[in-house]
Structure 1
Amino acid sequence: MLTLTRDDVRLGCRAADWKAALAQAAEALVEAGRVSPEYGEGLLAREAQSSTYLGNGIAIPHGTPESRRYVRSTGVRVLQFPEGVAWHDGSRVSLLVTIAAQSDEHLDILRQLTHVLDREGVARTLASAKNPDDVIATLSRVPEKARLDAETLCLGLPLRDRLELALAAAARLRHIGCVEASFVAAIAGQQPVPLGQGLWLVFAASGVNSPALALATPERRLRDGAGDVAGVFCLAAHGDAHRALLERLDGLLARGDGERLIELSAEQVLSRLSGESAGAETARVRLLNAHGLHARPARELVQVARAQSVAVRVRLLEGHGEAVSATSLTQVLSLGARRGQTLVFSAEGEGASQAVSALVEVVRGGLGEPVTPLTETREESVPRVTAKEPVVAPVADEPLTAVPAAPGLAIAPAYVLRLPEFRYAERADDPARERERLDRALVGARQQLEALVQRTVGGEVSQILSIHAEMLSDPALRDASLEAMGEGASAEASWWRAIDTAARAQESLADRLLAERAADLRDVGRRVLGLLCGVEMPTPPEHPYILVADDVGPSDVARLETAKVRGLVTARGGATSHSAILARALGIAAVVGAGERVLALSSGVELIVDGENGRVVASPSPARRERTERRMVEQESLQRAAHGRRHEEARTQDGHRVEVAANLGNTAHAADAVERGAEGIGLLRTEFVFMAHPQAPDLATQIAEYSEAFDALKGRPLVARTLDVGGDKPLAYWPMPHEENPFLGLRGIRLTLTRPEVLETQLRALLTAAGSRPVRIMFPMVKDIDEFRAGKAIFDRVQAEVKATDVQLGVMIEVPSCALLAPSLAKEADFFSIGTNDLTQYTLAIDRGHPQLSAQSDALHPGVLRLIRFTVEAAHAEGRWVGVCGELGSDPQAIPVLVGLGVDELSVSSRRVPLVKARIRELTLSRARELAELALKQPTAAAVREALEAA
């Protein structure tokens, strides 16, 4: 999406001709400091090459590669010409989106504009807009896409009537996140509506997250009192976005293709629903262009399509399945095809074969751009283990140092999670035998999964395994495998090729949910591959154990019975890695970044995990085991005592008070935080409100959400972080241009200041919901005083109208420059809250998810501690308070240091509140200051931890 501000838009422009319009556009870029005057010649030169008119009254002038030397900084200026300008290609232009780009950023901007090109009435809306906000809103609003793809199909189900099929289709939509349980309940109360040709329809609009159409078909055609049943469509209706799905369904029935739908594979079903008839000539081709199907290659494709004797349609195999006219530039651009994705051309009638062949050839040729072949890496994607130098396992009773991740002690046998090695021949001589082998493996895998589903019934693990079982029933995977076998591939090679292709197609869509489904596909693939190769897949033991792995994520742990996991040890990861955060949420002892030696341990060997001091010991001696057991008993006693005093204040033994609050990602959990002893909410991640809705939540919605937290707090303070999205965590309805390094890009306060109306609405909602109750609002990712002042200006304007009575406005200290400029910020901000996760990342220049370096991303690094001390001193000098809301606040080793540095508040996960309070009560302020000084003198984070442990 274009990130535009009001200053980027000029309304009411007039020009005698297109050259005069370009001159105004160049002047606007010069005035903005984006380009030097010579750039105007580049705009003219670009039009001489080909028109930059896109459609719907929009042109996007930009310079040639040679004119990039005149660009000072990448930027955009939008000029509105209400009366229109006659463009040199005969078009009528009412809006110029003029681009100054130092490289190929204009291609990203172009991709963001394609969604408005086919929208009815857009040209009129843009030409008549009376204020810049209307133009920005029109260009920025991405239409909702309705979903119909292989994931929404459930084919060949062993079901016996229409109602079962309807529920199966609804359940599939719920599995993939399109609908909630209330949608399934609404479908359960319906009688399917006959469409004819043996097809039926159920639909609902309640509980819909995103519009979609699912299809469930039985193994064989059914018949009941109401008629034939060949399949049931389930429609999740939402606004107007689902209408295109109904039109495609209507086209299918009009062609009479519904009769044979039950006989078709998933790929053929999608082909018919895309508008391709059984008699159509089709052809596929991979797109090789580096920047995908942007304007220039799309124009080449359209010109070739227009030269054919028959109409040609094109769809994106990895997309939502709708075929569009290959002669429409706007529709071709709307596909959003990227390098490596597959275009499917179709045509009917005399000359159809030649037409689709011509388009395939022009795509292979690069569409007027130099292209390079895709590197085939199938061999690398096969799940095999690369030979390495042998790693020596720890010897008995040898303490290994790791990064403390989640406090606690655990003693249990190790379960070392390793992916097996698969060895198989790539080729086979007997396709019929290979088909039999694959079918036996599919049956065996399904039986395994069904047994596991029964054993884990009712939980999240059961749901995931049920999805895996459904994937095994996908005929498209089997059909793709059979096709490869027909070409001489072995069952193993054919199956893995089908799995890998399907997984890559989903990963290429850049959707989080689909990426998780790709991981599920590979898990299913390995299960079948294990049966084909005679290799057993790893199965967690029935008894309690300590999980040892290279690294784990939420989806990995979801596959485990977490009640049996006593502790976690990973070879990689840092204190703020996802595995560490997950372990803290589960309340299990964990250490991360222990190194590869732990992967050489044998499953079953006894382990001690010390999540507080960062130690793991294999085969402990009797004496060490006895000492650890005594400590575990003591810790259990301490936890009970901490829980009993959870509602008391946290004061050191010499009376120094430190507030302990809770970090929340959902207002519904505020009551639980209070029950666990939280003295307030120290960090409310307000982005959850935005992520929970398919469109930006309005004022009333936000007020209702925030009020729930204020009500639960009963007068305790709430610290809310304003919307922190962008870069690495975009919103579906506020997508961002691709950034090479999103952590250093447009996110946090930088992003919301580009959409001040969004920030203003959120501030108004927070202040209104607070009323007379204490609210503390802070801006994320602030780098200096200018950004704070820009946000504060909006805050002051809203507060003057709302007049909330107990308000403070603060800054999150996450960027080193912000910490170093704390003295100037403290003169104007009411408080600071230090986000140690990001502050550590930016200070150490280590991504916490980096596979090799994340173990070194430790917030107890002396460089980070010095920034914290500097921040506290600057704040206290101006009478301001300082909190810590990062993961460091719940680290038992770090708590004395933070108290000693003068931090006034610690905000931690709700589960940790009682223990953090108990840790503070063990201290004296003088001792905490001694430990802080000791930590500041150390050269590394490891040295800090060693010194604190020895002190």
Structure 2
Amino acid sequence: MHNNNKELTLSAPLSGPVLTLAKVPDPVFASGAMGDGIAIDPLNDTLHAPCAGVVVHVARTGHAITLRADNGAELLLHLGLDTVELQGEGFSMLVKEGARVSNGQPLLRYDLDRVAQQCKSLVSLMILTNSQDFQARPITLKSVKVGEPLLHIIRRQASGAQAEADLSGETFVGHIRIAHRGGLHARPAALIRQTAQGFKSKSQLHFAGKSAICDSLIGLMGLAVGEQDEVQVSCQGTDAEAALQALLIALSTALAEAPHAVAPAPVTRHNRTAEAGVLHGVCAAAGLVSGPLFRLNAISLPMDAGSHDPAQQLHALDTALTAVRSEIGSTLAQAKKHKHIDEEAIFAAHLALLEDPALLDAANASIDRGMAATHAWSQSIDQQCEVLAQLGSPLLAERANDLRDLKQRVLRALLGETWHYDVPAGAIVAAHELTPSDLLQLSQQGVAGLCMAEGGATSHVAILARGKGLPCMVALGSTLLDQQQGQAVVLDADSGRLELLPTAERLSQVRQAQLDHQQRRAEQQTQAHHPALTLDGLHIEVAANVASSAEAADALAHGADGVGLLRTEFLFVDRNTAPDEEEQRSAYQAVLDAMGEKSVIIRTIDVGGDKQLDYLPLPIEANPVLGLRGIRLAQVRPEILDQQLRALLHVSPLSRCRILLPMITEVEELLHIRQRLDALCSELGVSERPQLGVMIEVPAAALLAEQLAEHADFLSIGTNDLSQYTLAMDRDHAGLASRVDAMHPALLRLIAQTCAGAALHKRWVGVCGALASDPLATPVLIGLGVSELSVSPVQVGEIKDRVRHLDVAECRRISQSLLKLSSAAAVRHACHQQWPLS
């Protein structure tokens, strides 16, 4: 046996055929919920120690034992499935808890025939219960004899971004009686651990004066909780109440077979204990940065020399006020239509404030004295805010916030394109919510990161932030806006944390991490122009998502293998008339030219619903994202798609142009467009047919992938929309932002089904949604059968580097087990364990 601080070779504890965990006929073991490991179908009657170590736990019923090896690896040796129900009959334990054992020493004997007849299966397991610290690599999957080498155990590299338990928020406590036959043994303990890992909070089980954190399988089993024993569960953190309810349900679900299972007890509330100086939010664009916090609440105005023409300035202010009233009026109409009572009240108040004589009279008086409209308006608002602040009423302070919001809106209307924020380079910007135009300007001003009180992780702002490589967090809550201007903070978007009181040591550590990251990015960029080949030689295409020829040129410079998604909406929005065929052809040709010899996937126009065009009046819809959008618009206005297809058929060479159809839900839609494309080819005398692909962004399309693949040349998965449609959660909803996660097992199952359906017709599948840009997801997507990833241009080098460190066979094996997990959090946790991010 080889043993040092990093590596350990485990010998076979039993003789017999070796199975991977995925083949174990038990969902808890097979899913990897307990940890990584191996199984043996035993042919002998004695379990031996796989290495030297200490016995840290012995099951009361004699069917399982846990060893701690000298290097710290903890190994659960579990003989048979459901053997806890034999209550020790047929088992003879040969060692005691706390004993030191040598490699190969007999640990327990059992009556082979008797146990085999009475239990579900004799398949026995060797599980690495602290898989977060160690990795198990099988040496053989053939039959083994006791003592033969079976597994390599390797210590994982410590990851700097390990998620910590979240200790802000309240403590919640509940009680439940354990009714599962055999008490809290390995299987229910694993379910409890898996449930707890789906939350940020710290969860503990308390019994007979002892406590165990729910993260520790050994700790939970070590409590020796028996059938009918009552335990206390406590959870502390921002999501503690939800964690407690989930744990109580998990405990009672595990007991479902018992007739006397009890309902979860009422939850009791304890004193709030906050994690000092940390705000928690949702990662919209990954990264770790530090810098001064800069609250974005004022457009900076230059000095005003005065002596302006009052008539001119009054006209400018009137025009701006009319524009803002119109904007607010349409927002108010939408709020009324959707019965959003709170929004309606806010915007009705804003409209009333815009008519407020105190504001208007003060601004007009300043303009009469020769002041610029911008400064007059700004000054009149500031004076009103000061008056309200002095009254000391929280309600009136809220009204001051509304006034500041109106100040911004009217100033923007007055300044047009010339407005800008005065933000220092290297700052971390805090705002209620940013618009895409805000983000583009801030990016040019060299800010280090962005954080918002509201917003969603797949919003357009989030997509832009990822594209610019700007760390960004959303849904941090209104406390963000109360922070002191200029204080040094750490934005750890990877872990969803904004640290408000970092020590000098922490700031230094973050700066070093930033330097390391920049160096790693530079190294990745030197290799970015080479193909992305996995360790076992599979080529994964890493393309880029772009919206213009300039972005395409940027993508090529970053090493992209092509354009995986050209969003053509950039040609249609922010204008009064539709682009004609020649303007479209010229724009598409420019993108093709910018990409050299590489292929370009061009998505047909995806507007409608929530993306309205001034020159294309569509009915206001109760549920815009479920209405006329994507290919459905082409069914209502076929001339728009026809013109776009004609423009695409005129680009050269057509062999490098692939057409992608958004929002397809049935095969007939695809066949109709294919026939239309064939007819246009004939009409234009084009002999070459461009490849035609389908966006998989609606669950119906994923479920029909096999039928669609029969008629499409390729499939491209849009994970942003697929997430919101599958989970029935608006992807821009701040309150749900943390839950709209494409790593949800339901999404992964749809991706797996898409790849399986496409494979039957030998079609390739790509991913162009945000998940493709998430390095944690790279091994999962490859394991499920994706062969093309389309990412933000700045991430091409990073994702290619990630691909080069992966083994496809391992990705496939582990990805299948992830489909059985219960939540996105559980999937992400498993991925961090299996494929740590460097």
TM-score of the pair, normalised by structure 2: 0.54
Per the alignment, in what secondary structure is the counterpart of residue 542 of structure 2?
Answer: strand
Aligned with residue 572 of structure 1, among 443, 451, 454: 454
Decide whether aligned partners of structure 1 residues 558 and 807 sit closer, same or farther in structure 2, where only a CA change above 3 A counts.
Answer: closer
Question: For the residues of structure 2 that align with 1:623 and 1:937, how far apart are their CA atoms?
Answer: 41
Shift of 1:693: 5.9
Partner residue in 2 for 1:738: 620
1:807 aligns with 2:690: yes
Q: Quick check: 1:415–1:540 contact (8 Å CA) kept in 2? A: no
Aligned with residue 765 of structure 1, among 633, 638, 647: 647
Question: For the residues of structure 2 that align with 1:857 and 1:401, how far apart are their CA atoms?
Answer: 16
Residue by residue over 1:861-915, the C-alpha shift from the partner in whole angstroms, topping out at 9 and shown as x without a partner, is 2221211111111111210001111122112222222222221111122222222
Residue by residue over 1:54-90, the C-alpha shift from the partner in whole angstroms, topping out at 9 and shown as x without a partner, is xxxxxxxxxxxxxxxxxxxxxxxxxxxxxxxxxxxxx
Question: For the residues of structure 2 that align with 1:404 and 1:590, how far apart are their CA atoms?
Answer: 6
Per the alignment, in what secondary structure is the counterpart of residue 671 of structure 1?
Answer: helix
Q: Counterpart of 2:501 in structure 1: which amino acid?
A: S
Question: For the residues of structure 1 that align with 2:582 and 2:771, how far apart are their CA atoms?
Answer: 35
State how 1:423-572 maps to structure 2 within 5 Å.
449-451=301-303, 474-475=313-314, 503-508=324-329, 525=377, 528-534=380-386, 542=424, 544-557=426-439, 560=442, 563-572=445-454
Per the alignment, in what secondary structure is the counterpart of residue 827 of structure 1?
Answer: helix
Question: For the residues of structure 2 that align with 1:674 and 1:550, how far apart are their CA atoms?
Answer: 35
Partner residue in 1 for 2:170: none
Aligned with residue 750 of structure 1, among 617, 624, 632: 632
Question: For the residues of structure 1 that align with 2:590 and 2:576, how far apart are their CA atoms?
Answer: 21
Aligned with residue 784 of structure 1, among 636, 657, 666: 666
Q: Counterpart of 1:636 in structure 2: which amino acid?
A: Q
Shift of 1:677: 1.2
Partner residue in 1 for 2:766: 883
Partner residue in 2 for 1:856: 739
Residue by residue over 1:409-428, the C-alpha shift from the partner in whole angstroms, topping out at 9 and shown as x without a partner, is 20123234569xxxxxxxxx
Decide whether aligned partners of structure 1 residues 857 and 640 sit closer, same or farther in structure 2, where only a CA change above 3 A counts.
Answer: same
Partner residue in 2 for 1:659: 541
Partner residue in 1 for 2:828: 945
Q: Counterpart of 2:380 in structure 1: which amino acid?
A: V
Q: Quick check: 2:731–2:740 contact (8 Å CA) kept in 1? A: yes
Question: For the residues of structure 2 that align with 1:749 and 1:765, how far apart are their CA atoms?
Answer: 17
Between structures 1 and 2, the one with greater helix share: 1
Q: Quick check: 2:610–2:625 contact (8 Å CA) kept in 1? A: yes
Partner residue in 2 for 1:411: 290
Residue by residue over 1:318-343, the C-alpha shift from the partner in whole angstroms, topping out at 9 and shown as x without a partner, is xxxxxxxxxxxxxxxxxxxxxxxxxx
Gaps of 5+ in 1: 1-390, 420-444, 455-465, 481-497
Residue by residue over 1:387-413, the C-alpha shift from the partner in whole angstroms, topping out at 9 and shown as x without a partner, is xxxx99964475x55322212220123
Question: For the residues of structure 1 that align with 2:821 and 2:478, how far apart are their CA atoms?
Answer: 27
Q: Counterpart of 2:325 in structure 1: which amino acid?
A: R
Shift of 1:672: 2.6
TM-score of the pair, normalised by structure 1: 0.48
Partner residue in 1 for 2:790: 907
Q: Counterpart of 1:504 in structure 2: which amino acid?
A: R
Per the alignment, in what secondary structure is the counterpart of residue 561 of structure 2?
Answer: coil
Question: For the residues of structure 2 that align with 1:928 and 1:471, how far apart are their CA atoms?
Answer: 70
Partner residue in 1 for 2:239: none
Q: Quick check: 1:397–1:621 contact (8 Å CA) kept in 2? A: no
Shift of 1:616: 3.0
Q: Which has the higher contact order (CA 8 A, sep 6+)?
A: 2
Q: Quick check: 1:659–1:904 contact (8 Å CA) kept in 2? A: yes
Decide whether aligned partners of structure 1 residues 872 and 397 sit closer, same or farther in structure 2, where only a CA change above 3 A counts.
Answer: same
Gaps of 5+ in 2: 1-270, 334-346, 360-373, 390-399, 409-420
CA RMSD in angstroms comes to 3.8
Question: For the residues of structure 1 that align with 2:766 and 2:287, how far apart are their CA atoms?
Answer: 25
Aligned with residue 684 of structure 1, among 566, 569, 589: 566
Residue by residue over 1:142-164, the C-alpha shift from the partner in whole angstroms, topping out at 9 and shown as x without a partner, is xxxxxxxxxxxxxxxxxxxxxxx
Decide whether aligned partners of structure 1 residues 663 and 511 sit closer, same or farther in structure 2, where only a CA change above 3 A counts.
Answer: farther
Q: Quick check: 1:612–1:892 contact (8 Å CA) kept in 2? A: no
Partner residue in 1 for 2:603: 721
Decide whether aligned partners of structure 1 residues 746 and 471 sit closer, same or farther in structure 2, where only a CA change above 3 A counts.
Answer: farther
Q: Counterpart of 2:573 in structure 1: which amino acid?
A: M
Shift of 1:615: 3.3
Decide whether aligned partners of structure 1 residues 756 and 563 sit closer, same or farther in structure 2, where only a CA change above 3 A counts.
Answer: closer
Decide whether aligned partners of structure 1 residues 599 and 808 sit closer, same or farther in structure 2, where only a CA change above 3 A counts.
Answer: same
Partner residue in 2 for 1:843: 726
Q: Quick check: 1:775–1:808 contact (8 Å CA) kept in 2? A: yes
Question: For the residues of structure 2 that align with 1:902 and 1:895, how far apart are their CA atoms?
Answer: 11
Residue by residue over 1:124-143, the C-alpha shift from the partner in whole angstroms, topping out at 9 and shown as x without a partner, is xxxxxxxxxxxxxxxxxxxx
Decide whether aligned partners of structure 1 residues 787 and 541 sit closer, same or farther in structure 2, where only a CA change above 3 A counts.
Answer: closer
Identity rate of aligned residues, in percent? Answer: 40
State how 1:322-333 maps to structure 2 within 5 Å.
none
Question: For the residues of structure 1 that align with 2:321 and 2:802, how far apart are their CA atoms?
Answer: 50
Q: Counterpart of 1:579 in structure 2: which amino acid?
A: V
Question: For the residues of structure 2 that align with 1:673 and 1:394, how far apart are their CA atoms?
Answer: 44
State how 1:284-295 maps to structure 2 within 5 Å.
none
Decide whether aligned partners of structure 1 residues 921 and 591 sit closer, same or farther in structure 2, where only a CA change above 3 A counts.
Answer: farther
Aligned with residue 643 of structure 1, among 517, 521, 525: 525
Decide whether aligned partners of structure 1 residues 471 and 774 sit closer, same or farther in structure 2, where only a CA change above 3 A counts.
Answer: farther
Partner residue in 2 for 1:581: 463
State how 1:622-637 maps to structure 2 within 5 Å.
624-637=506-519
Shift of 1:781: 0.5
Shift of 1:533: 4.2
Q: Quick check: 2:425–2:445 contact (8 Å CA) kept in 1? A: no
Question: For the residues of structure 1 that align with 2:287 and 2:529, how far apart are their CA atoms?
Answer: 22
Per the alignment, in what secondary structure is the counterpart of residue 753 of structure 1?
Answer: helix
Aligned length, in residue pairs: 497
Q: Quick check: 2:602–2:658 contact (8 Å CA) kept in 1? A: yes
Per the alignment, in what secondary structure is the counterpart of residue 532 of structure 2?
Answer: coil
Q: Quick check: 2:755–2:786 contact (8 Å CA) kept in 1? A: yes
Partner residue in 1 for 2:492: 610
Residue by residue over 1:158-203, the C-alpha shift from the partner in whole angstroms, topping out at 9 and shown as x without a partner, is xxxxxxxxxxxxxxxxxxxxxxxxxxxxxxxxxxxxxxxxxxxxxx
Question: For the residues of structure 1 that align with 2:768 and 2:682, how far apart are their CA atoms?
Answer: 29
